[in-house]
Structure 1
Amino acid sequence: MKRLFSALLLAPAIAGVAAGAANANGLSTEQLQKIDAVTPNGITSGQITSITELSDVKPTDWAYQALQSLVERYGCIVGYPDRTYRGSRPLSRYEFAAGLNACLDKVIEFAASKEDLDTLKRLTEEFQAELATLRGRVDSLEARVKELEATRFSTTTKLQGEVIFSLDAVANTAGNERNQDGAVSFGNRVSLNLNTSFTGKDLLLTRLRARNIETIQQRLSPGFNPSGSRLDYDGTGSPGVPNSANTFFLDKLLYRFPVGDVSFTVGTAGVQPQDYGLSDATFFSGPANTKAFKYVGAGVYADTRDADTAGVGFNWKASKNFSFQAGYINRNSADVSTVNSGGVFGFTPTGTGTNSWDVNAQVKYQTDNNKFRVALAYALRNGRYATDFGTTNAFQPFGATNYNSNNLALSLGWAISDAVTLSAGYGIGFVNEQGTNQNATVQNYAIGLTFPNLFADGNEFGVAAGQQPWVSSASNRSSEDTGSFGVETYYKFQVTDNISITPGIYVFNNTNGQQNGGTTYVPFLKTVFRF
């Protein structure tokens, strides 16, 4: 009886083949030869008894087991006279009819017992309700698939979204906030990513973004409002605009594709070194990055928060443990004021204060299990700012002019166990004012711990401390500052797979690197929705 059921199960598979061949017209001499080899009792001159007799069928073929069963168990499949099966060739309706007839003869042979047929009939009647239910489910699934195919947004593009609600405030012990009642803000940032893939390995990323979060920098008094005070998710909305007033703008546009072991990235809007894999080795890298580690390598890991950056870069995975990244960033891709400006390689004449570009490179090592990793990065910068974060002096040591700087960053991450990680980083930049002999040294450092899955899966506690980029020495002593030391702590509640709530606070003394700057406190409550 078991042999009977197995034989009957072949019918749907054969019917599927027939559907694929339904449009075949006419018979070739080759097809007639194959049909002539089939008789009601099986195969005559072309009869085979083992799948190994078919020279072009390999154990790695996806249908190997099915063919083996049809040949060796049921004896109703035959090859061509030259002992080949030619499984990739289309099948005509005539060939299918001949093969089906041979297999049905075997079914009749297996079902020769009236007892077997009676048993089959009884089982069919006994499970009639279940079979009808299953048939209805299949019909429902087919209808839903057709509906999805008819209404889906795109066959190549997926939408991913993120919404951040932020409740935050600013308080300064020396009264250096603009609103001394607390400068409380409740705002949002919305990001919509259109991820498009044409080959399954490439990515065309189009990001639309809107926000209305007032930056911490805006809420501190002039002269005491360093760029290093900003939240991780505030910033400019479009070139030169603190926030977009919840108007969507094109925040990022890039295309990434692989060539062997190398992944290339090219983009014309919002491109950062992280987009082509040039990110630090700490366990704070990414969306949950703390303030202290935003500072590490501030002259290397560009983060302008602007959409007017274009660039090109690559990430080469030289081995399982070593990788190398390099790239070029143009910070004025949106400037089309002259013929040669804008785009990836356009520029604005030096001296206007807007000609800005970076060339960066990094080598990174990680262990097989990624529990320890270290990265050494370098960047040559040319532009209005010596660094992307830090005190005002670190940002522009000698005022609004053009700078060249050579920057180095060393970072590491160590997962001491599944429950705790240690991260550390140090950065230094050697800055020169273009056209003069003025020079300065900018430094920064940070160290921190994370405790993944603390108290519950998905939750995380983190604490970090570090020095914002500050001018430690300068040819003009008036450009030096005292630095601003900061500490941050947070706890992320992973409410669901798509919702997290993170309360935290960061504090930094000597605001903007000034002894009379006071200590600034920034408590925040961040809620993130992802879909």
Structure 2
Amino acid sequence: MDQILPKLLWMNTAIAFWVMWAGTVTAQEVEVQGCGVAGEFCVLGETLESPEPVGNESSDPTENRLDPINQYGDNNSLGQVTNVSQLRDVQPSDWAYTALRSLIERYGILTGYRDRTFRGNRSMTRYEFAAGLRQALDQIQSLIARGRDVPPADLATLEQLTNEFVLELSLLRGDVDALTARTRELELTQFSTTTQLDGEVIIGAAGIVSKDDTVTTLGHRTRLNLDTSFTGQDLLRTRLQAEGLGRLERRTGTPEGELSFTGASDSDLEIDALLYRFPIGNQTQVVIAANAGAADDFTDTINPYLDGDGASGAVSRFATRAPIYYLVSGAGVGVRHAVNDHLEVSLGYLAGNGGNPEPGNGLFDGAYGALAQVKFEIRDRATIGLTYVNAYNQDWQVGSQDTNLVNQLDLPVVTNSVNLAASIQLNPRFVVGGWAGYTTANVIDEGDANLWYWALTLALPDFGKTGNLGGFIIGMEPKVTGSDGLKNLGIDDPSTSLHLEAFYQYKLTDNITITPGVIWLTAPDHNSDNDDTFIGTIRTTLQF
């Protein structure tokens, strides 16, 4: 039995391919219960289409030449015949007939037409038997897999039948080899079976009003993401990006109120984010960023609905996520580990100029941000996160000019920051949240500064219509609240500025959203000598 089974399993596969090939050469028709139409080939409940059944009237004059063949059919409905002794075309005295009858009656494998005929010539009769033999092999293989004992006599019969079809099987072997070679060729010439292209285009208009000063801009941010998976669980992302909407800071004179989708005013299409994410076990994800990595690549920013990375949600950088996350960007590694269903830990290190070998740059000799975060979820409705970041020469590009010390002083700065964030979903359409953060900054050999920021947020999913989103944010962008030795360098925020923001994201189609938004800055740049500034925007996002 051990010697017979391997042969049978091999023959099973080979015969299946042979029968499919033979079906393209000439018609062969065997019907099972439920087919009900002559001209269909049916085995064990499966139906393969073949020429129209004989005996039906047709306007095609060529069918008149088929009358000698059509005499084997009739216009009666066809039904199932299970007992092989009723089949006429194969004589009961044939050995193949006797062997097939024994198997069919024992296992209910093959069926025929109601008129008890196999339709075809002698050469096709062998292939009809090959189809039955294939079903016998499948049936017995299934029984063995379920642990049922199969009589040795039946196994011996199957072996004899497969030997009887050795010529057909040898020809089929060549067809299978050719098919395998062709399949291999297709696999080698394909671009990638696991790469998906996603596109995102933001067309944004922005207007700035401050006393007698007004300006309107119109531009874009275009992203093409090539997402590749090698295992089905990993992700290689190659992002191409072009920007055409400059930072508003150039006109307002402060990073406060900066839009979440602005950047260079006329950049070419170039590689932006380049990262690889893969799992370790079932609870850990590792991210390796070679370029333009960000904190949200490996950690939760705890601002659901509002953090859409510029394409959706809040329209400003400050309202998109807590400023502490902007201190971590560049090239490096991040790890996200789920301790259990409620507790998650994130760790990461990104260098701002990790690919630059010049002095004062590189992965460990230049600007960097190192993050550690603990997040706790309560019944999928409330999330609390505590975040710590140690950074060197990294600015967050929000808040007042004086809080962006690296850009303001062009001196080395070390910062230590903590942030507490929370989000509570009171019901499916009402989410409140917020954050508060504190930073100590040391300007090496010059002095120290203390910085604070906070925000309260409200998100209204499906507001007015399913898929829409309303949002309100009020907060204080980063402000210098105290310093030691830096006032002589002009580092001082004498007043307090408030950031007030409202937006409504309207879902036009599954791929297009339109988001009008407004930002009101009181005492911009934390200086009451500055007139209040209003920023209005209309963001259209197209995703494909």
Q: Fold conserved (TM > 0.5)?
A: yes
1:466 and 1:184 mapped to 2: Cα distance? 25
Task: Kindly indicate whether the alpha-carbon contact (under 8 Å) linking 1:297 and 1:428 is maintained by their aligned counterparts in 2.
Answer: no
Task: Kindly indicate whether the alpha-carbon contact (under 8 Å) linking 1:281 and 1:374 is maintained by their aligned counterparts in 2.
Answer: no
2:543 and 2:352 mapped to 1: Cα distance? 29
Distance 1:527 1:153, change over 3 A: farther
Superposed, 1:191-270 pairs within 5 Å as: 191-220=223-252, 225-235=253-263, 242-243=264-265, 245-260=266-281, 261-270=283-292
Specify the code of the residue in structure 2 equivalent to 1:212. Answer: G
1:138 alignment partner in structure 2:
none
1:468 alignment partner in structure 2:
477
1:167 alignment partner in structure 2:
205
**1:367 to 2:378 alignment:** yes
SS state at 1:516 partner: coil
1:419 alignment partner in structure 2:
429
Deviation at 1:191, TM superposition (A): 0.5
**1:486 to 2:507 alignment:** no
2:402 and 2:450 mapped to 1: Cα distance? 11
2:254 and 2:421 mapped to 1: Cα distance? 24
2:172 alignment partner in structure 1:
none
**1:428 to 2:453 alignment:** no
Unaligned runs of 5+ in 2: 1-30, 49-94, 109-134, 152-157, 166-185
Superposed, 1:507-518 pairs within 5 Å as: 507-518=520-531
Task: Kindly indicate whether the alpha-carbon contact (under 8 Å) linking 1:296 and 1:425 is maintained by their aligned counterparts in 2.
Answer: no
Task: Kindly indicate whether the alpha-carbon contact (under 8 Å) linking 1:488 and 1:505 is maintained by their aligned counterparts in 2.
Answer: yes
**1:391 to 2:457 alignment:** no
1:299 and 1:332 mapped to 2: Cα distance? 19
Cα shift readout 1:35-77 (whole Å, capped 9, x = no counterpart): 99x9334359xx789xxxxxxxxxxxxxxxxxxxx89xx9997
**1:495 to 2:508 alignment:** yes
SS state at 1:505 partner: strand
What's the Cα RMSD here? 4.0
Deviation at 1:297, TM superposition (A): 3.7
Specify the code of the residue in structure 2 equivalent to 1:160. Answer: D
2:409 and 2:472 mapped to 1: Cα distance? 34
Deviation at 1:366, TM superposition (A): 1.7
Deviation at 1:451, TM superposition (A): 1.2
1:93 and 1:293 mapped to 2: Cα distance? 79
Give the TM-score of the pair, scaled to structure 2.
0.66
Deviation at 1:462, TM superposition (A): 0.8
What percent identity do the matched residue pairs reach?
Answer: 23
Cα shift readout 1:142-188 (whole Å, capped 9, x = no counterpart): xxxxxx99997531211000011111111113x5xxxx3x2110111
1:187 alignment partner in structure 2:
219
1:10 alignment partner in structure 2:
43
1:476 and 1:92 mapped to 2: Cα distance? 95
> How many pairs does the alignment contain?
406
Task: Kindly indicate whether the alpha-carbon contact (under 8 Å) linking 1:168 and 1:184 is maintained by their aligned counterparts in 2.
Answer: yes
Larger radius of gyration: 2
SS state at 1:42 partner: helix
2:466 alignment partner in structure 1:
457
Deviation at 1:317, TM superposition (A): 1.2
Task: Kindly indicate whether the alpha-carbon contact (under 8 Å) linking 1:283 and 1:413 is maintained by their aligned counterparts in 2.
Answer: no
Distance 1:459 1:356, change over 3 A: same
SS state at 1:166 partner: strand
Deviation at 1:333, TM superposition (A): 2.2
Deviation at 1:371, TM superposition (A): 1.9
Task: Kindly indicate whether the alpha-carbon contact (under 8 Å) linking 1:281 and 1:413 is maintained by their aligned counterparts in 2.
Answer: yes
1:410 and 1:294 mapped to 2: Cα distance? 15
1:295 and 1:361 mapped to 2: Cα distance? 20
Superposed, 1:62-101 pairs within 5 Å as: 79=144, 83=149, 95=162
Specify the code of the residue in structure 2 equivalent to 1:511. Answer: P
SS state at 1:264 partner: strand
1:84 and 1:392 mapped to 2: Cα distance? 84
Cα shift readout 1:410-450 (whole Å, capped 9, x = no counterpart): 111111111211011111111112234x1111110000211
1:196 and 1:158 mapped to 2: Cα distance? 6
1:84 and 1:476 mapped to 2: Cα distance? 92
1:292 and 1:77 mapped to 2: Cα distance? 61
Task: Kindly indicate whether the alpha-carbon contact (under 8 Å) linking 1:366 and 1:372 is maintained by their aligned counterparts in 2.
Answer: yes
Specify the code of the residue in structure 1 equivalent to 2:350. Answer: I
Unaligned runs of 5+ in 1: 16-34, 50-69, 86-90, 99-147, 236-241, 348-354
**1:285 to 2:307 alignment:** yes
Deviation at 1:268, TM superposition (A): 1.2
SS state at 2:409 partner: coil
Task: Kindly indicate whether the alpha-carbon contact (under 8 Å) linking 1:300 and 1:409 is maintained by their aligned counterparts in 2.
Answer: no
Deviation at 1:10, TM superposition (A): 3.0
Cα shift readout 1:237-274 (whole Å, capped 9, x = no counterpart): xxxxx33x151011110000001111000011100111
Specify the code of the residue in structure 2 equivalent to 1:337. Answer: E
Deviation at 1:367, TM superposition (A): 3.0
Structure 1 stretch 454-463 or stretch 474-483: which is displaced more? 474-483
Distance 1:290 1:323, change over 3 A: farther
1:154 alignment partner in structure 2:
192
1:335 alignment partner in structure 2:
356
Specify the code of the residue in structure 1 equivalent to 2:273. Answer: K
Distance 1:79 1:323, change over 3 A: closer
**1:405 to 2:438 alignment:** no
Task: Kindly indicate whether the alpha-carbon contact (under 8 Å) linking 2:314 and 2:471 is maintained by their aligned counterparts in 1.
Answer: no
**1:312 to 2:333 alignment:** yes
Deviation at 1:201, TM superposition (A): 0.5
Deviation at 1:289, TM superposition (A): 3.4
1:512 and 1:360 mapped to 2: Cα distance? 27
1:357 alignment partner in structure 2:
368
SS state at 2:256 partner: helix
SS state at 2:403 partner: helix
1:321 alignment partner in structure 2:
342
Point out which structure has higher relative CO (alpha carbons under 8 A, 6+ apart): 1
SS state at 1:40 partner: helix
Task: Kindly indicate whether the alpha-carbon contact (under 8 Å) linking 2:277 and 2:285 is maintained by their aligned counterparts in 1.
Answer: yes
Specify the code of the residue in structure 2 equivalent to 1:166. Answer: G
Deviation at 1:503, TM superposition (A): 0.6
1:303 and 1:499 mapped to 2: Cα distance? 31
Task: Kindly indicate whether the alpha-carbon contact (under 8 Å) linking 2:197 and 2:224 is maintained by their aligned counterparts in 1.
Answer: yes
Give the TM-score of the pair, scaled to structure 1.
0.68
